[in-house]
Amino acid sequence: MGLPVVAIVGRPNVGKSTIFNRLVGERIAIVEDKPGVTRDRLYGKGEWLDQYFHVIDTGGIEFGETDEILLQMRHQAELAIDEAHVIIMIADSRTGVTDADLELARMLNRTGKPVVLAVNKVDNPEMRAEIYDFYTLGLGEPYPISGSHGLGLGDMLDEVIRHFPTKGEADEDEDVIRVSIIGRPNVGKSSLTNAILGEERVIVSDVAGTTRDAIDTPFERDGQKYILVDTAGMRKRGKVYENTEKYSVMRAMRAIEDSDVVLVVLNGEEGIIEQDKKIAGYAHEAGRGVIIVVNKWDALEKDDKTMIRFTELIREEFKYLDYAPILYVSAKTKQRVHTILPKVNQVAEAHAMRVPTSVLNDLITDATVMTPPPSDRGKRLKINYATQASVKPPTFILFVNDPELMHFSYERYIENKIREAFVFEGTPVRIWTRKKT
């Protein structure tokens, strides 16, 4: 199951971006004391009490406005509301309840979604009396907060996560493999989605950028449940002209974060371009399982060495994805499309694999005997103990005498030994070194 989504909405200049930055722990949103600075929806990831969630910051909503930018901002906020599991409405204690607040509250009530009302700029306890007017919005208890000082956010977040899907609901989906299909526009992602599903579910057009949003399609094959996500094509940042396309890219990024396995689609006819490497990098950095799928393979004039040469080119251009299997397919003729899901199953299994601690430590001991760690200025690295900290992706912690003695090349050697022993095909493997305490 994907992470819950929280949308932050409110009229301009009530402090939404300050709250957003507090929740995601980074200054992603520009904060300025003038309305309308945040025109886009911004995505970030927040955490409260070990519960992770996506946060969307929206442009301020103003009603009755004909200004094109304000209309766009309202449209984007509506899209964010549509996507969200929980909505935080921010109001401003200094201005009190305005007509725009009342209008927005009516709009939010109509969605039927849980809304948490936060009254911002309550910077000291004496100001708390000013929040009672906000009961008139009909959104339940107003939570006094101060974005600039970080006050009251804990109570607000307690209420927010109370409305998330429960663990029981999430557990039902644990045997589902989430697969997202990513790539630049017009590499044939939608055609590939339809070929895998065996039916025309997604609009297919020769016009690049037909798919605006990430489209989730649940289906079942051979007793295994999947959710297939066809994402919008990702363009270079400079080419993201239209607002709607910018949000499509953000949603594609979120689809990657929520996936178990990502199919990175390349256009066999056109070869590899710089943008392909950037897009594949997103999946690698997010720690997802990755399969490289070369589409439109039917359109190439081939000899007996074409596939070997193309594979060598991929390995050269995508050095950081040396663990990713490569499939050559044609969505148009259905050539080798049947090989995709069995490979997805293998990669998803590797991505979620847990190695017993005793077996892992035996392996590390053997590896260090075969190739002892290098010494630095007379000090030699000693690996005392290893444990697997997490899965998706498999993450290992090595407890050592001095983390600074762990050279990149030796860490790579250990990773290769782990990969050889446990066949972590298609998944990144992360290794952290910690000082033995």
Tokens 């000693």, located at residue = 382
Q: Is 123 annotated as a binding residue?
A: yes
- Classify strands 379-380 and 375-376 as parallel, antiparallel or unpaired: antiparallel
Q: Is 37 annotated as a binding residue?
A: no
Q: Is 437 annotated as a binding residue?
A: no
Q: Is 58 annotated as a binding residue?
A: yes
Q: Is 432 annotated as a binding residue?
A: no
Q: Is 276 annotated as a binding residue?
A: no
DSSP 8-state secondary structure symbol assigned to residue 4: P
Q: Is 158 annotated as a binding residue?
A: no
Q: Is 121 annotated as a binding residue?
A: yes
Q: Is 16 annotated as a binding residue?
A: yes
Q: How far is Cα 413 from Cα 411, in angstroms, rounded to an integer? A: 5
Q: Is 167 annotated as a binding residue?
A: no
For residue 121 the two structure tokens come to 């700029």
**Closest Cα to residue 261, out of 375, 180, 336?**
180
Q: Is 298 annotated as a binding residue?
A: yes
Q: Is 14 annotated as a binding residue?
A: yes
Angle at 258 between CA 256 and CA 261, to 5 degrees: 60
Q: Is 183 annotated as a binding residue?
A: yes
Tokens 């998803």, located at residue = 348
Q: Is 295 annotated as a binding residue?
A: yes
Q: Is 61 annotated as a binding residue?
A: yes
Q: Is 184 annotated as a binding residue?
A: yes
Q: How far is Cα 146 from Cα 153, in angstroms, rounded to an integer? A: 8
Long-range contacts of 151-155 (CB under 8 A, 24+ apart): 151/122, 151/123, 152/118, 152/122, 153/19, 153/22, 153/23, 154/48
Q: Is 15 annotated as a binding residue?
A: yes
Q: Is 231 annotated as a binding residue?
A: yes
Q: How far is Cα 296 from Cα 421, in angstroms, rounded to an integer? A: 35
Q: Is 230 annotated as a binding residue?
A: yes
Q: Is 59 annotated as a binding residue?
A: yes
Q: What is the 3-state secondary structure (H, E, C) of 76-123?
A: HHHHHHHHCCEEEEEEECCCCCCHHHHHHHHHHHHHCCCEEEEEECCC
Q: Is 234 annotated as a binding residue?
A: yes
Q: Is 17 annotated as a binding residue?
A: yes
Q: Is 12 annotated as a binding residue?
A: yes
The DSSP result for 9-42, as a single string, is E-STTSSHHHHHHHHHTS--S---SSTT---S-E
> Which residues define the annotated binding site for GTP?
10-17, 57-61, 120-123, 183-190, 230-234, 295-298
- Residue ranges of the binding site: 10-17, 57-61, 120-123, 183-190, 230-234, 295-298
